[in-house]
Amino acid sequence: MKPASPFSFPVSPALAAKLAKLGLARDADLVLHIPLRWEDETRLTPIRELLPGDVAQVQATVTDAAITYRPRRMLTLSVRDAGGGVLGIRFLHFYPSHSKLFQPGETFRFIGEIRGGFLGLEMVHPRFVKASDDTPLPSGLTPVYPTTAGLGQAALRKVVARALEAPIEDTLPADWLDKLQLPALDTSIRTLHQPPADAALAELDAHRHPAWQRLAFDELLAQQLSLAAARAQRRTLTTQPLPAQQRLTADFLSMLPFALTAAQQRVWNEISGDLAQAHPMRRLLQGDVGSGKTVVAALACLQAVENSLQAAFMAPTEILAEQHAKKLTPLFESLGLACAWISGSQRKSARTASWQAVAAGEANVVFGTHALFQESGSFRNLGLVVVDEQHRFGVGQRLALMQKGSEPHQLMMSATPIPRTLAMSFFADLDVSTIDELPPGRTPIVTKLVSSARRDDV
């Protein structure tokens, strides 16, 4: 008994396996497998009108075919169209069947880029199809899909066309489409797969066509819905609340040779309030270099320790993690806390000793790099995870560290300026706090966009 096709139409197991390599396992996957580009095969260009750099299709008859060996083995053709124009064709890689196929007098359609050769205009490795004056031209632009080894464009076009036979239900109500001036989803997808001959090819290639705009809108909407769902789901999770005790945090602030700025105090109030909640905090703390994010993160660690839980402070590089450890460890130890350091460059004996202290609850705050989540060590009672330069870590890496505790609170830091609208879009599942002022006497940070051509100047 043959295995059932994963699609709504028959597909051989061999073809299904190749499609699976592209992540195409159902009709919807094929429908959303958008072409990389489109080629205009709807018209023939006379050879006399060709210019170097053009991508064109010609219909011509083979007048000469030969295998040459200088400077390398290749199959060379000379072809002539109905207008008398002559074009050279070269195949650097070919099968013996090709030399039998291209016999003088046979007519083909060749499509490819025109080059200026030593003996005149030529195409190198063009696509071709046997043709005659009666062979019809395509009625629309020809899609070129992302593919994989052993899966040709013709096979892909065929299965995509089968998947498009069914109507595509729209995800948006009609009044939304009118209000947003967006085309229907069915129309948009069919336009991208089967654009008509008069479609604006430049707009399609530049992703400016209304069909692209519709898909982009749906992608952004789906992303926002998923982030909103993640945020709502987080609100259903429970964790140990960490109310402010004003013991360690107050002592820490009194030790500092400066007072918090108004922005630091505002942000700290937001974070402290989050930590006191019974659902896990997920907050992004952003601010320029030198704005005082580390001090605020240290206060968060102390509020966790005040509630008899551990804090993990992770950075993407050993240099940055070590900077945090060297800066904060003396301050924490003066408050009677124990700190641990874990990194991949440690000797195994030292790393083992650090993990033992962490697992026993003897270390209150743990500083480290990727080793904090890459290794099998465990925490006694992890309550807070601080991640510096959070954009340098993948989602999976952050989740791996989070899984070392029971829904610990999470504070992510970034010195990369993130515009408010972008933060609302891409961090919609997070609460965002911004330190928007520098401590007195600090040189303002200037962020500029510089051309890559001036990299050496920078």
Structure tokens given for 425: 């879009």
Confidence of residue 1 (pLDDT cuts 50, 70, 90): very low
Q: Is the pLDDT of residue 392 over 60?
A: no
Confidence of residue 135 (pLDDT cuts 50, 70, 90): confident
Specify the pairing of strand 86-91 against strand 120-124: parallel
Q: Does 191 reside within a domain?
A: no
Mean pLDDT confidence for 302-314: 95
Mean pLDDT is lowest, of 75-84, 156-165, 416-425, for 416-425
The confidence score (pLDDT) of residue 422 equals: 65
Domain with 415, as residue range(s), is 248-435
Q: How far is CA 210 from the centre of its chain?
A: 23
Q: Residue 184, Cβ neighbours under 10 Å: how many?
A: 14
Q: Give the CATH number of the domain where residue 53 resides.
A: 2.40.50.140
Rounded Cα distance, 231 and 236, in Å: 9
Q: Does 93 reside within a domain?
A: yes
Rounded Cα distance, 331 and 364, in Å: 13
* Residue position matching structure tokens 């197991």: 13
Rounded Cα distance, 321 and 295, in Å: 15
Q: pLDDT per residue over 427-442, tens digit each?
A: 667 888 888 887 776 6
Q: Is the pLDDT of residue 370 over 90?
A: no
Q: Does 120 reside within a domain?
A: yes
Q: Give the CATH number of the domain where residue 344 resides.
A: 3.40.50.300
Neighbouring residues of 200: CB distance < 8 A, sequence distance ≥ 6: 209
Local structure of 76: helix, strand or coil: strand
Domain edge (last residue) among 70, 100, 130:
130
292 vs 406, higher pLDDT: 292
Q: pLDDT per residue over 138-149, tens digit each?
A: 999 999 999 999
Domain edge (last residue) among 94, 110, 130:
130
Mean pLDDT confidence for 211-232: 89
Do 57 and 43 touch, CB atoms closer than 8 A?
yes
Q: Does 184 reside within a domain?
A: no
Q: Residue 173, Cβ neighbours under 10 Å: how many?
A: 9
Q: Is-cis flag, bond preceding 126, omega within 30?
A: no
Q: Does 59 reside within a domain?
A: yes
Domain count, the chain: 2
Q: What does pLDDT average to over the chain? A: 89
* Residue position matching structure tokens 């599942």: 429
458 vs 312, higher pLDDT: 312
Q: pLDDT per residue over 85-117, tens digit each?
A: 999 999 998 988 988 999 999 999 999 999 997
Confidence of residue 423 (pLDDT cuts 50, 70, 90): low
Q: pLDDT per residue over 9-41, tens digit each?
A: 999 999 999 999 999 999 999 999 999 999 989
Confidence of residue 196 (pLDDT cuts 50, 70, 90): very high
Q: Does 51 reside within a domain?
A: yes
Q: Is the pLDDT of residue 208 over 90?
A: yes
Q: Does 455 reside within a domain?
A: no
Mean pLDDT confidence for 43-56: 95
Q: Does 265 reside within a domain?
A: yes
444 vs 208, higher pLDDT: 208
Residue 256 shares a structural domain with residue 107: no
Domain edge (last residue) among 98, 130, 162:
130
